[in-house]
Amino acid sequence: MSSKPAEPRSIASQLVLLFTLAGAFLLSCGLGALYWIVVRHAFEEDNEVLADKVAAVRADLSAPGGINVVTEELKSVRAGERAAYWVRIIDSTKRVTAETPGMTALLPTAVFADAKTPKDFHSSGRLFSLITSEEQTATDRFTVQVAQDRTADDSFMKQFAMLLAAVLALAVAASAIIAWSVTKRGLRPLKEMTRALKRVGPQQLHERVAAVGWPRELQPLAVAFDDMLARLEDSFVRLSQFSADIAHELRTPVGNIRGEAEVALTRSRSAEEYREVIESTIAECQHLGQIVDNLLFLARTEAAEGYLQRISFNGRAVVEKIAAFFEPIAEEQNLTIRCEGEGTFMADEMLFSRAVTNLVENAVHYTPAGGSIVISIGDSTVSVKDTGCGIAPEHLPRVFDRLYRVDPSRSSEGVGLGLALVKSIMDLHGGTAQIESEPGHGTTVTLSFPSPPVTDAPRLGSQPASRAR
């Protein structure tokens, strides 16, 4: 049984967490540096005072009758009294000459070993700093052992550390609250944009987020959303129109088939009459098949960008085959078809042939008797020019749309997919299709294929070049 994937963290929670961690890190560094500076200063200050005390005792020992002076001074401290300094004098025979009362029980002689520099020592729950020094006098050599009671300093440092910890905890909590407030305020435009986008539906695709008024960081996002909505609106409108056009195109042949069948069944008819009805039905079915085949081809070309077999071929040879195919039809309509130029193409040869075939078929269909059709070839370009009826300027922007026909009567001679197929083939190759037309003088359609070679891939399956439907 698969476990449920964990919910992703929100941007707000991540920002709050990161801001709080950053604040805690900076505060820890700052307070830690403060604590280190205070402790180090207190430690150095105590060591200086301890060194001064050692120097004072050594000075007393060096003075005339010094040992007696030091002895009398130490006797003045009452036993059990909490002294700031503890002093012990040892002569060259290792005998304790003088010491602060009670020092032996609290700080034995052995604990001062290797205390040439101040070292810490804990005894009876108290903290002492110990140091040992040698002093040579005129009568003897003495060892001076001095201890400083730093219990009060140790207690202060602990309280100071607790205070800094409390300050750090409060500061981290304050950082979290500030981060939450700032993040909530900073992400408010995103919530407003979300509410604006939720209002967009199939009936409100015309609405826009508009980049004006948003923070600078969100303006590109607003522009991207507006562009996306514009594309969706355009696609939605085209899809709606396309669906309506398909329904209209399919309804006509289906209606014709049904009407002819109903008429044939109204009374008994001869075998010849039934044959005519069947032949008419077959023609209408062929018309339906042409519509379906072209729609399937359009759908396949839109999803086949990675399946083109681009090869280098002689465009003149392919175009001449297409011209030869339409030659009998052109002769029947008293038209002339002529090929001009030479050119090499890097494209899918089958799709190239399909596109040019559609253009020539349109030219043959719309060119009156006595007219001419010229197919011009250049490097990566091919154009079909006719002397037909031409297209009015207001129709030119839409002639490549699916099921769009200039003739408002929607004759059954075509379904408006020929140029749409050409446009899809050119989009698939990354090329362009341009049309120029003047009513009464003819039309020229130019196909421009990209020149750079690309990696070959499996050929897109399709029917062989034939008359476009």
Is residue 453 pLDDT above 60, yes or no? no
Across 41-55, 119-133, 278-292, least confident range: 278-292
Residue 466 is assigned to a structural domain of this protein: no
Q: Is there a single domain that holds both residue 195 and residue 321? A: no
Q: Is there a single domain that holds both residue 294 and residue 312? A: no
Is residue 467 pLDDT above 50, yes or no? no
Tokens encoding 84: 């700031």
Domain count, the chain: 3
Strands (E), 75-153: 85-90, 96-99, 119-123, 126-136, 141-149
Q: CA geometry: angle at 218 spanning 214 and 221, to 5°?
A: 120
Query: What is the pLDDT confidence band of residue 381, given thresholds at 50, 70 and 90?
Result: very high
Burial zone of 1 (CB within 10 Å; 0-12 exposed, 13-18 middle, 19+ buried): exposed
Q: Is there a single domain that holds both residue 150 and residue 242? A: no
101 closest CA partner among 113, 86, 90, 112: 86
Q: Return the half-sphere exposure (C-beta side, CA atoms, 13 A cut-off) of residue 383.
A: 15
User: Using CA atoms, how far apart are residues 126 and 105, in angstroms rounded to an integer?
Assistant: 13
Q: What is the DSSP letter of 463?
A: P
Residue 287 lies in domain: 191-303
Burial zone of 322 (CB within 10 Å; 0-12 exposed, 13-18 middle, 19+ buried): buried
Is residue 196 pLDDT above 60, yes or no? yes
pLDDT number for residue 133: 83
Across 93-102, 153-162, 367-376, least confident range: 93-102
User: Using CA atoms, how far apart are residues 304 and 313, in angstroms rounded to an integer?
Assistant: 21
Q: Is there a single domain that holds both residue 118 and residue 216? A: no
Is residue 118 pLDDT above 90, yes or no? no
HEC profile for 3-20?
Answer: CCCCCCCCHHHHHHHHHH
pLDDT number for residue 377: 93
Q: Is there a single domain that holds both residue 29 and residue 146? A: yes
Residues 406-433, mean pLDDT to the nearest whole number:
70
Task: Give the H/E segment covering residue 358.
Answer: helix 349-366
What residue spans of 101-150 are helical by DSSP H? 103-106
User: Using CA atoms, how far apart are residues 252 and 383, in angstroms rounded to an integer?
Assistant: 34
Is residue 276 pLDDT above 80, yes or no? yes
User: Using CA atoms, how far apart are residues 145 and 299, in angstroms rounded to an integer?
Assistant: 100
Boundary (domain end) residue, out of 173, 203, 238: 173
Residues 48-58, mean pLDDT to the nearest whole number:
82
Burial zone of 335 (CB within 10 Å; 0-12 exposed, 13-18 middle, 19+ buried): buried
- Quick: pLDDT tens for 230-252: 887 777 776 776 676 667 667 76
378 closest CA partner among 456, 442, 315: 315
User: Using CA atoms, how far apart are residues 78 and 115, in angstroms rounded to an integer?
Assistant: 26
- Quick: pLDDT tens for 305-344: 556 678 889 999 999 999 999 998 889 999 999 999 998 8
CATH code of the domain in which 365 resides: 3.30.565.10
Residues 277-294, mean pLDDT to the nearest whole number:
78
Residues 413-427, mean pLDDT to the nearest whole number:
74
- Quick: pLDDT tens for 155-166: 888 898 999 999
CATH code of the domain in which 268 resides: 1.10.287
Q: Is there a single domain that holds both residue 297 and residue 332? A: no
Q: Is there a single domain that holds both residue 268 and residue 316? A: no
Is residue 401 pLDDT above 80, yes or no? no
pLDDT number for residue 411: 42
Residues 130-144, mean pLDDT to the nearest whole number:
81
237 closest CA partner among 20, 401, 98: 401
